[in-house]
């Protein structure tokens, strides 16, 4: 269990609860929580966050992401994508407990490398992933992750903006 950072707690008054209390959106970042609201993972940091907040958030996220999660143990996905917040959550159950983490996957990134950055759009990347029969839940997550990492925020303008609530 990751300990709650005092600086993180300062944002609780501005929190917006999402997905039955399992995700909380703060002004500068989002955290994954357990039922007792203790912090499990900080999954995203907005560019407007201070360097101090960013460093602490990154340390917490790194600790959580060090966990190894076999793909076959994943039983459901929850994805929330916003134009101003790079957020990808994958939830899974193990031993009667529910866990979540940021979506990662080398096979997804490998597939996306076949598309030149100038041709990277939601529709184009969706088609490539669909043709390769990736599991449900990876599709929108991979699209959003790749658009952000390759093209930056410019890919989220106009028709290519991705707003996903459940895959």
Same domain, 34 and 106: no
User: Which residue(s) pair with 18 in the sheet?
Assistant: 23
* Domain limit, last residue, from 45, 66, 87: 66
- Residue 137's region, left for phi above 0, alpha for psi from -120 to 50, else beta, is left
Q: Report the mean per-residue pLDDT for the chain.
A: 41
* Domain limit, last residue, from 12, 37, 66: 66
* Domain limit, last residue, from 20, 38, 66: 66
Same domain, 82 and 118: yes
Same domain, 156 and 88: yes
Find all residues with CB under 8 Å of 160, minimum gap 6, and list them.
121, 122, 123, 147
Q: How deeply is 54 buried, as exposed, middle or buried, from its count of CB atoms within 10 A (0-12, 13-18, 19+)?
A: middle
Helix axis angle for 138-146 and 122-131, nearest 10°, is 140
Same domain, 42 and 77: no
Same domain, 145 and 89: yes
119-159 pLDDT, tens per residue?
A: 444 444 444 444 444 444 444 444 444 444 444 443 333 33
Same domain, 76 and 56: no
Same domain, 36 and 108: no
Q: What is the pLDDT of residue 65?
A: 45
Residue 8, helix vs strand vs coil: helix
- The alpha-helical segments, DSSP class H, found in the chain are 6-9, 51-65, 106-112, 122-131, 138-146
Q: What is the pLDDT of residue 6?
A: 38
Report the predicted TM-score, pTM, of the whole model to 2 decimal places.
0.23
Among 47-51, 87-91, 154-158, the range scoring the smallest mean pLDDT is 154-158
Query: Whole domain around residue 132: which residue ranges?
Result: 72-167
Same domain, 55 and 118: no
Same domain, 97 and 164: yes
Same domain, 86 and 29: no
């Amino acid at each position: 269990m990751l300990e709650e950072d005092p600086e993180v707690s300062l944002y609780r008054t501005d929190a917006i609860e999402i997905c039955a209390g399992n995700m909380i959106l703060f002004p500068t970042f989002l955290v994954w929580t357990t039922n007792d609201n203790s912090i499990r993972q900080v999954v995203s940091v907005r560019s407007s966050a201070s360097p101090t907040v960013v460093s602490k958030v990154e340390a917490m996220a790194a600790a959580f992401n060090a966990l190894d999660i076999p793909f076959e143990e994943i039983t459901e996905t929850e994805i929330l994508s916003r134009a101003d917040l790079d957020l990808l959550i994958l939830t899974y159950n193990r031993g009667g407990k529910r866990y979540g983490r940021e979506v990662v996957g080398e096979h997804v990134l490998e597939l996306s490398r076949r598309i030149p950055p100038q041709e990277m759009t939601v529709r184009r990347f969706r088609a490539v992933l669909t043709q390769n029969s990736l599991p449900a839940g990876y599709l929108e997550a991979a699209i959003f992750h790749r658009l952000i990492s390759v093209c930056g925020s410019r890919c989220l303008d106009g028709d290519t903006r991705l707003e996903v609530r459940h895959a």
